[in-house]
Amino acid sequence: MKVKKVLSTVVFLSMVFLLMNGLAFKALPQNIDLISYSINDAFRILWENRQQAKDNSVTADVVISNLTGTWFQVELEFNQSQHNVVVGEDKIPYVFLMGPYQKKTFKNIEFFDMQVLQFDARRDVERAPAAFAMLSIDMICRGIFSTDFSPEQFRDLLFNTSIEGFEVAGDALKNDTAASLIACIAAIAAGETEEAVQSFAKFVFSLKESKKQIWQFIKAIWGEKDSILNTANTARVLGDIINLIEVPEKLNLMTILADVTFSAPTDDQFWLTAKSNIPKLPQVKIASPLRFTPNKSTYYVDDVITADFGLDNDGSKAIALRQVLVGGRGPGGEQDVQDFSPKTDVFLGLGTCYQYQGTLKLTKPGKYLFFCIYQTQDGQWNSGIDLGLGLNDSDGVKNITVVSNAVVPDNRISWEFNTPRNFDGWSVEGASDRAVDFEGHLVINPDRDPRVSSPFVSIDSRLYNAVMFRMVSYADNQQGQIYFNRGTGDYNEIDTAYFTVYTTQRNRMPEWRDYLIYLGDKPGWTGTIKGIRIDPASNGNFDNPYDDIAIDWIRLVKSTDLVEDSLVQTTGNDRAYLFQKGRLWPFSNSQMFEALGYRWSDIAFYSTEVLNKYALGPTIIAEGSLIKKNGDDNVYLIENGRMRWIASLSIFQQKGFKDDDIYVVPYQGCFIISGS
């Protein structure tokens, strides 16, 4: 039994301990302080009983004190430029009056971080008629009955007096009545007793339109059974007011009220602000990715590159940085420092962005690693900078390869790939697999953006103007592209040419094709060409592991001979030709070209000098076409490969033909292609 009692006691004490700790923990506000402000010190605003409400809020009782001896109208302010405390009128009235030295407490108001509870206090007749009305009533009470009008009596007044009556009094005091009262207060302040009495009398008599309301005020303050009202008829009180207030002691309270009214501020602003007391810290982030200019796949010794990236500060405190730069490590490893030029004394304010830019000259061949880094004022380096929204790890670092200018260029103009596993200096990217097989083919399995790049070459653009290669493709994609550059290392969309890839169906024997891509008419094909890149497809088929592409050989040629069955065109001329049997067969027009299933992307462009070497063949038209020879009114229908004359207009119309369907062709015979 004793053991059970001991265990029970231990369990009970443990529960009490946990409960007390839990309550104590709940009572402790977490990281939010309430800070009070007052502009003119007419009011003081404080808090009591602060407690943690939620993880990010506290509750407290808000206490407002009027530190003056006069009346103010107080309004709850909602400022659009700040985060206002959200509170209902059942918690805090949006407009209320506060009498001399009065204190009000509003219970259980919730504050979130950076929220503001602000009040505006006023007492002038224009902006605060209610406060001025209560000042007037207080004057009457002091002058007639030698007693002040307390805030407690004011609460009774609000409870017993109709709202309509209070509004009437307030409106009356906005007019001529206010002038009499102001003159009275000024006379009291100046010590002019007689003038003060007369002005006060004028003020009281000016209220004759509101006798009913004043009676309601007096009755609400003292009640009908009060001894004063039992001994003094209200009408007599109002009629003999001058005699009553000539008693000097009755003016003392009025003088005090006048003094504090004139000395007190006409308005005040005061508020409580909730502020997190978590230590303010800067938070530096990479805002824009690290970029190099020029942007190349391969750089050369003595190249000068420019790096840039953006930093911003998302924290709660500004920070001054001693240095910002792109740090680097060269081929020699960690001790081989290859930094870009630093920027010193960089200041990052809250929400501001700084754009770094620096340069570096590459002095040795090999592989380099670069990264964003900054140094704080205390000498600490940070290369693990946080990334901004939308950025990933690759946006803060760069890896590059630098090639020595002393590298002897590959002076060959043809690559045959006859040695297994020897790529002859060519590199492959964008492929899941690559090889040079025992049959002498460079084979790739294309992935995303497959490309085959030449070694560093030195090609005289005056001696060679085209790239020729033999290729077979099982890939679905038929969009090919070829690039060249003149030593910058990067390939762009200007120095390029497109070609159509002929594909072999799966499970069929390879259909090798010879491609001749003419580059001599490209603006960039001048001087010495340093690199060639062939993209045999835009993309591979990820669902097809058998979409291999193989290249038998690649050659640079001086193109003076056209390839059989090729589509050609000369720069500056819209006419397209089919090269066949040693002649150029012109298409009658663009509609005929498209009607026969040809694509404009398949056309190779040649200079006029090249095309002028070949004779023209007949114009190409399609089966079912209506044609009319130039200079001849007869219309023919191409049917079964023959020209059938349409003998009359009636037959033409019976067949449903239209004049717009007739093609006019040169008078030199026609080469008919069946099917359309």
Q: In the beta sheet, which residues pair with residue 484?
A: 532
User: Helix or strand or coil: residue 2?
Assistant: helix
41 vs 611, more confident: 41
pLDDT tens, residue by residue, 448-478:
889 999 988 888 888 888 898 999 999 888 8
- What pairing do the DSSP bridges indicate for beta strands 577-580 and 583-586? antiparallel
pLDDT tens, residue by residue, 288-334:
999 999 887 778 888 899 999 999 988 778 899 999 999 999 998 88
Contacts of 148 (CB under 8 A, 6+ apart): 100, 138, 141, 142, 253, 257
**Span of 2-11, 93-102, 296-305, 576-585 with lowest mean pLDDT:** 2-11
The helix (H) or strand (E) run that includes residue 289 is: strand 284-293
DSSP annotation of 502 reads P
pLDDT tens, residue by residue, 217-231:
555 544 444 434 443
CB under 8 A, 24+ apart: contacts of 430-437: 431/540, 432/540, 437/550
φ, ψ for residue 153, nearest 5 deg: -65, -30
Spell out where 349-426 has E strands: 353-361, 366-376, 381-382, 386-387, 397-403, 414-415
Q: Residue 188: its pLDDT value, please?
A: 63
296 vs 355, more confident: 355
554 vs 413, more confident: 554
φ, ψ for residue 239, nearest 5 deg: -75, -35
HSE at residue 641, side-chain half, CA atoms within 13 A, is 2
Summarize the confidence of residues 633-646 as an average pLDDT: 83
Q: Residue 217: its pLDDT value, please?
A: 52
Contacts of 186 (CB under 8 A, 6+ apart): none
Work out the widest C-alpha separation in the chain, in whole angstroms.
137
Q: In a 10 Å sphere around its CB, with 0-12 CB exposed, 13-18 middle and 19+ buried, how is residue 143 labelled?
A: buried
DSSP annotation of 89 reads T
Q: Residue 11: its pLDDT value, please?
A: 40
**Span of 20-29, 96-105, 106-115, 636-645 with lowest mean pLDDT:** 20-29
pLDDT tens, residue by residue, 15-74:
444 344 443 334 344 568 888 888 988 999 998 998 888 877 889 999 999 998 888 889
The helix (H) or strand (E) run that includes residue 189 is: helix 176-190
Q: How many CB atoms lie within 10 A of CB 503?
A: 18
Q: Residue 96: its pLDDT value, please?
A: 87
Q: What angle do CA 205, 207, 213 make, to 5 degrees?
A: 140
DSSP annotation of 342 reads P
Residues 587 and 596: their CA atoms lie apart, in Å, by 10
342 vs 569, more confident: 342
Task: Name the residue with tokens 């939010």.
Answer: 32
Tallying the residues shown for the chain, one arrives at 676
Q: In the beta sheet, which residues pair with residue 664?
A: 628
Q: Which is nearest to 46 in space by CA: 32, 58, 27, 60?
A: 60
pLDDT tens, residue by residue, 642-660:
778 898 888 888 888 888 7
Summarize the confidence of residues 547-557 as an average pLDDT: 92
Q: Residue 671: its pLDDT value, please?
A: 52
pLDDT tens, residue by residue, 226-274:
434 443 444 444 444 444 444 444 555 666 666 666 677 888 888 888 8
396 pLDDT exceeds 50? yes
Q: Residue 228: its pLDDT value, please?
A: 41
75 pLDDT exceeds 50? yes
Task: Name the residue with tokens 């204190």.
Answer: 103
pLDDT tens, residue by residue, 130-174:
777 777 777 766 665 556 666 665 555 544 444 444 444 455 444
The helix (H) or strand (E) run that includes residue 159 is: helix 151-160
- What pairing do the DSSP bridges indicate for beta strands 615-616 and 583-586? parallel
Summarize the confidence of residues 344-356 as an average pLDDT: 90
What tokens were used for 63? 């206490």
What tokens were used for 171? 């409106």
Query: From residue 321, how far is each of 282, 325, 384, 441 by CA, in Å?
Result: 11, 11, 15, 57
Q: Residue 62: its pLDDT value, please?
A: 94
Q: In the beta sheet, which residues pair with residue 58?
A: 52, 111
For the four alpha carbons of 248, 252, 253 and 257, in that order, the dihedral sign comes to positive
Spell out where 18-77 has E strands: 32-38, 43-54, 57-66, 72-77
**To 10 degrees, what angle do helices 176-190 and 193-205 make?**
160
214 pLDDT exceeds 90? no
User: Helix or strand or coil: residue 444?
Assistant: strand
For the four alpha carbons of 284, 288, 293 and 297, in that order, the dihedral sign comes to positive
Q: Residue 257: its pLDDT value, please?
A: 67
Q: In the beta sheet, which residues pair with residue 52?
A: 58
Query: From residue 134, how far is each of 187, 261, 264, 304, 317 by CA, in Å?
Result: 20, 12, 16, 81, 48
